[in-house]
Amino acid sequence: MNERKGHQSISFGEEVYIISGASVVGKKEGEGPLGPCFDEVEKDPLAGAKTWEQAESTLQHRAAVRAIEKAGIKNTDLRMIFAGDLLAQCTASAYNLAQLDVPVYGLFGACSTMGEALSLAAMAVAGGFGEYVMALTSSHFASAEKEFRFPLAYGSQRPLSASWTVTGSGACVLAGEKSGARITGITTGKIVDFGLKDSLNMGACMAPAACDTICTNLQDFSRQPEDYDKIITGDLGSVGQQILFDLLEKQGYDIQRQHLDCGMLIFDDAVQDTHAGGSGCGCSAAVFTAYVLPKIVSGEWKRVLFLPTGALMSKVSFAEGQTVPGIAQAVVVEHVPQEN
């Protein structure tokens, strides 16, 4: 039976499985340490489209189609899709999803959107509201730079704490039918604002939210960090990781042995000059589907806490001198042994 845990978590009694995951990324991501893991590496930054926004839509579409194919279903089998991206009014998702002809919920959770999408999709399946439900997100370096920062050709120096928005998309199909990875619980994140205003140090803005969600998850499920093989944040980067360790230490938790960060996995800063790491809701989605999910399915990792992190600022809030609040949405994914 499904059960509410604490104030923010749900334990799924009904069986919810991730039956397929697919990822499509850009050239730079393909050249990174996880290059061979991705389903597709698109060499053309515009992906054959005319604009960055259309390019992002195209990547998202390809990830969705691949996930549908891998699940062995048709797009009409999907009861609903939870999708989102970083652009204003979810531009990339809207124009991709128009082609798919499937009912849709559009989401915005900044870079945490994959955690949000997986949580909602899992609830939909566990509640019996959909046989097949998709979680889907994307980001694109160029469209994000244009949306939040400067035109690409503008010459400026990025601070060392800055992250590099991942060009890519990841899609998961969730269903009640058995597979090697099961979502057993979620912890919904609260918005945590420590008053930072530096949007070029997003790791520091999001680390308090990640700390909050991790602590809440451990308390709600009465677990210790050791109960997870891996605790994987979305895009804290190297600066955010250090802050997360320090903040958790104050709460009496040490996750240094379990912790991985999708943003630090996807790029090699020493070679690729990405500074703190990758970011964007395509970052956690692509790393989860290409790297994390296969390791759970194979049984290398038995139980993983996956929590994409988001910095909830906009161009307007930045211009008006507002702080950058953070959020982290956690999903517990467990290995399911294959029965022969």
> Which residues in this chain contact other proteins in the complex, by CB under 8 A?
50-51, 146, 150-161, 192-196, 198, 201, 204, 208, 211-212, 215, 239, 242-243, 246, 251, 323
Token pair, residue 333, equals 């994914």
Q: Find all residues with CB under 8 Å of 79, minimum gap 6, and list them.
A: 103, 124, 129, 130, 131, 132, 133
Token pair, residue 285, equals 């989605």
Q: Find all residues with CB under 8 Å of 228, minimum gap 6, and list them.
A: 258, 303, 304, 305
- CA atoms within a 13 Å half-sphere pointing along the CA-CB vector of 324: 24
Distance CA 116, CA 58 (A): 22
Q: Which is nearer to other proteins, 153 or 316 (CB)?
A: 153
Distance CA 269, CA 245 (A): 20
Q: What minimum distance in Å lies between the beta carbon of 122 and other proteins? A: 25
Q: Which is nearer to other proteins, 51 or 224 (CB)?
A: 51
| Residue 235: exposure state from Cβ atoms within 10 A (0-12, 13-18, ≥19) | buried
Q: What minimum distance in Å lies between the beta carbon of 207 and other proteins? A: 9
Per the CB < 8 A criterion, the answer to whether 320 and 123 are in contact is no
Q: Which is nearer to other proteins, 23 or 199 (CB)?
A: 199
Q: What minimum distance in Å lies between the beta carbon of 274 and other proteins? A: 13
Per the CB < 8 A criterion, the answer to whether 9 and 220 are in contact is yes
Q: What minimum distance in Å lies between the beta carbon of 218 and other proteins? A: 12
Q: What minimum distance in Å lies between the beta carbon of 30 and other proteins? A: 20
Distance CA 116, CA 308 (A): 8
Q: What minimum distance in Å lies between the beta carbon of 91 and other proteins? A: 13
Beta bridge partners of 232: 260, 306
Q: What minimum distance in Å lies between the beta carbon of 51 and other proteins? A: 5
Beta bridge partners of 174: 18, 133
Q: Which is nearer to other proteins, 65 or 215 (CB)?
A: 215
Amino acid, single-letter form, for residue 223: R
Q: Which is nearer to other proteins, 1 or 319 (CB)?
A: 319
Q: Which is nearer to other proteins, 195 or 337 (CB)?
A: 195
Amino acid, single-letter form, for residue 197: K
Q: Which is nearer to other proteins, 7 or 74 (CB)?
A: 7
